[in-house]
Structures are given as C-alpha cells and as structure tokens.
Amino acid sequence: MDKNVKYRIHLSPPHLSGTETEMVARAMESGYIAPLGPFVDEFEEKFCKYTGYPYALAVSSGTAALHLALLASGVSRGDIVFSPSMTFIGGVSPVYFCSAKAWFFDSDESWTIDVNLVKEKLFAVEKSGADKPKAIIATDIYGMACDYEALCQIEKDFGVNVIVDAAESLGASDRYGKRNSPKTAFYSFNGNKIITTSSGGMLASHDKNLIDYAKHLSRQAREPYPYYQHNTIGHNYRMSNILAAIGIAQLSDIEARIERKKTIFQRYKNALGTIPGVEFMPCGVYGESNYWLSVIILNSESRISPEFLRVTLEEKGIETRPVWKPMHLQPVFSGAKFFSKFELGANPPICEIAFERGLCLPSGCGLSEAEQEFVISSIQKALYK
C-alpha cells in the first residue's frame, strides 16, 4: 500500500468541519444537555433556510422522521403505502410500524422510483374504485433526487401525500435549482451521510399542521397539563441539544462538502469511465446529485464481477459496498407486491440489475487524493488482471 494511504479506507466516514468542538462546548455550557434546547431550534431554522421548507422538526433518526411523517399523514392499520424497492430498510420499516404494508415499485433509468409506473397503478386503482394508497414514499438514491416536479403533479392530481426519502440527498436539486418541492421530506444525519450529528434526522414540510402534530407525537404525545396526560400513544423521538449543535457546525459547510463529493466522483469517472465493461450510476435529466456516494457498474462486458472486485479491494483495506438489495427480494417482505414495467420472465427489473452489477466506492469528504489514487489503481489492476 502507498505510504500516504491509511491502512483502512472507509466507504463514507464522518468528516468534521472544524467547529464541532466549539459548538458542543457551547451546548454544554448552556446547561441544555437533555433533549431539546436552543440549538435544536437554531438547527431547525437554519435547515429550513437551506432547504426552502418553511417548517422542520429535528428528531433522533431518519427512520423516526419517516414514522412521524406516516402517522401525521394518517397511515394506519391495513393501509397501503407505495415505496421503491431499491431503498434502505429504514425507508420502509416505519410503514409496518403503522401496521400498514408496502407495495414495491421498480426504478427508472435514474435508479429512483419509476414515476410513470406509479401513475399507471394510481389510475388503475382509481378506475377499480379501490382505496388509494395512503402515502407514496419516493427515495432519493446515492445523492440523486427523484423527479420532484412529477411527484408534485401526482400530489395534485391524485391527492396522495408524497413523502420524499431525502436521507442521502441533502443539497441535491431539481432542474430549476429548487430543493425538495413535494410537501414533505425527511433526512438522515447518520455517521455516513453528507452531514452528520452522529445520529439523528429531520422531518421537513410545507404543511405546518403536519409538523405540529409530528412534534406532538415525538414528545410522547403529552397534553398541555401540569401533570402527564396522554390522549394517544406517542414516541420519544426528540433530538438532543448537543447533537443539534454538531448539526449546525456540519450544515455550515454543506456546499463545500457537495463540491468535494463531486470532485471525487469526477476523478473516478475520468480514470475508470473509458474502461470496457465499466459504467457509473446514471444521473436523472431532471436534477443534479449531491454525489454522496460514487457508484460503479460492472456490466456484462466486464471480465470480473462486482463481488470479486469487492473482495479484492477488501483485501487491500478498501471498503466498498454492494448497491441496496431490493426490498421485494428481502426475506422479511416475502410475498409483498412488486411492480415493474418489465413483464415477468422478460428483462430483469432495473433495481435487480443495479443490485447485481453495482458497487459503491469510497466517497468520504476526507478522502485524500493519494487514497483515491490507490483505490483507482487497485480497481484498474483487478479489471486487467
């Protein structure tokens, strides 16, 4: 290994802006070390200013944010929620927390949910007189946002709440430069995300009532009495003041982080993109990614498989990861409905191809040029071996 490269190159480790220690010290000095506090309020305000959403709620995780969004949208026992199959399980499991169930949809060429397929199914449901889905979850993938314009049109035409899973896409934009137009979105600040609070998440919306109700539920649904009274079951989903202080520091340099991620992606593409059998995750024409993770595709022309490459790189201390395994292939969702534009037995669904051929490469903001060159040369050697 190159002497300038650390022994272990991680996929997407946390990266500090340099002001986190100061902000945490200020939070400690304020005395607000339990959940809630002035830094939580400030984090929510600055997050709203950055994303364009007028209302936001800082919570303990992205999964908690989705759970609250579903509850505030009225999702309950027996309801159907549309979801992409290509997603992380935390972007689906809250559907089942609500005793509802998910119908899974294939991806389009951008790897995000196939909006045309969703519309086709909505028309069919409407025509049959069956109940519409109570909500639609649309997941942004590896930094690439969904077609927000089309999703907003679905909200308008069918009256179904769209909840954007923007856990991976903070800073991504649509073709007009706007961010997160659909009514509601949620974000993750897990340690591997473009900004982190070590753990935590955010629910954001154009609907004040939705955020107010979600906030009520996130605080154990305590009613405004001098004693503890509860008219419904709530949850302990609040974010701590200390984590919010870290979030403020991280958010302060979000644009520099996006530029760094883009540089890393471009370097990979320039070095590997012309090799036969190598492609990169496609970008939708309707927006620009935040390049959270750079994803390589080894197509049918490649001499090696993604798994062979993963193991080869692991032996060199380089962490990579397969693309999300589709939810309809997960044992826990065995028997769930899945929809693809490809007929059964014809071409494989896009999400299955992505899982079989894709590999996420080290993309942390702290990845040095020497480290990336080591990753690139290791991939080149494996491909030409």
In a domain, 375, yes or no: yes
Its sign, for the CA torsion 112, 113, 116, 117, is positive
Q: How much is the pLDDT for 4?
A: 53
For 263, the domain range is: 254-384
In a domain, 13, yes or no: no
> Quick check: 188 pLDDT over 80?
yes
The string of pLDDT tens digits covering residues 16-33 is: 989 999 999 998 888 888
Query: Stretch 196-221: mean pLDDT, rounded?
Result: 97
Do the strands 161-165 and 173-174 form a parallel or antiparallel pair, or are they unpaired? unpaired
Could you tell me if 223 and 105 lie in one domain? Answer: yes
In a domain, 4, yes or no: no
Could you tell me if 240 and 345 lie in one domain? Answer: no
Could you tell me if 114 and 161 lie in one domain? Answer: yes
Amino acid at 277: G
Could you tell me if 121 and 220 lie in one domain? Answer: yes
Query: Stretch 283-307: mean pLDDT, rounded?
Result: 92
The string of pLDDT tens digits covering residues 42-99 is: 999 999 999 999 999 999 999 999 999 999 999 999 999 999 999 999 999 999 999 9
Query: Stretch 280-306: mean pLDDT, rounded?
Result: 93
Instruction: Look at residues 251, 281, 300 and tell me which one is the last residue of a structural domain.
Output: 251
Query: Stretch 111-123: mean pLDDT, rounded?
Result: 96
DSSP label of 333: G
Q: Model confidence at 102, in pLDDT bands (50, 70, 90)?
A: very high
CA contacts within 13 A on the Cβ side of 252: 15
Could you tell me if 127 and 200 lie in one domain? Answer: yes
Could you tell me if 191 and 270 lie in one domain? Answer: no
96-120 residues labelled b (16+ CB within 10 A) or e (exposed): eebebbbbbbbbbebbbbbbebbee
CA-based end-to-end distance of the chain: 18
Q: How much is the pLDDT for 180?
A: 46
Placement of tokens 């949208």 in the chain: 73
Q: Which residues contact 212 (CB under 8 A, 6 or more apart)?
A: none
Q: How much is the pLDDT for 178?
A: 57
Q: How much is the pLDDT for 143?
A: 96
> Quick check: 3 pLDDT over 90?
no
Could you tell me if 187 and 242 lie in one domain? Answer: yes
In a domain, 1, yes or no: no
Instruction: Look at residues 251, 284, 311 and tell me which one is the last residue of a structural domain.
Output: 251
In a domain, 7, yes or no: no
Could you tell me if 165 and 220 lie in one domain? Answer: yes
Query: Stretch 272-297: mean pLDDT, rounded?
Result: 93
In a domain, 299, yes or no: yes
Query: Stretch 114-119: mean pLDDT, rounded?
Result: 96
DSSP label of 134: S
> Quick check: 250 pLDDT over 90?
yes
Domain at 369, CATH number: 3.90.1150.10
Could you tell me if 343 and 202 lie in one domain? Answer: no
Could you tell me if 214 and 311 lie in one domain? Answer: no
For residues 33 and 207, the model is more confident at 207
Could you tell me if 213 and 287 lie in one domain? Answer: no
| Paired residues of 322 in beta bridges | 359
Mean pLDDT of the chain: 94
Query: Stretch 288-302: mean pLDDT, rounded?
Result: 95
Number of domains in the chain: 2
Could you tell me if 333 and 315 lie in one domain? Answer: yes
The length of the chain in residues reads 385
In a domain, 10, yes or no: no
Instruction: Look at residues 217, 251, 285 and tell me which one is the last residue of a structural domain.
Output: 251
The string of pLDDT tens digits covering residues 142-170 is: 999 999 999 999 999 999 999 999 999 99
In a domain, 67, yes or no: yes
> Quick check: 5 pLDDT over 80?
no
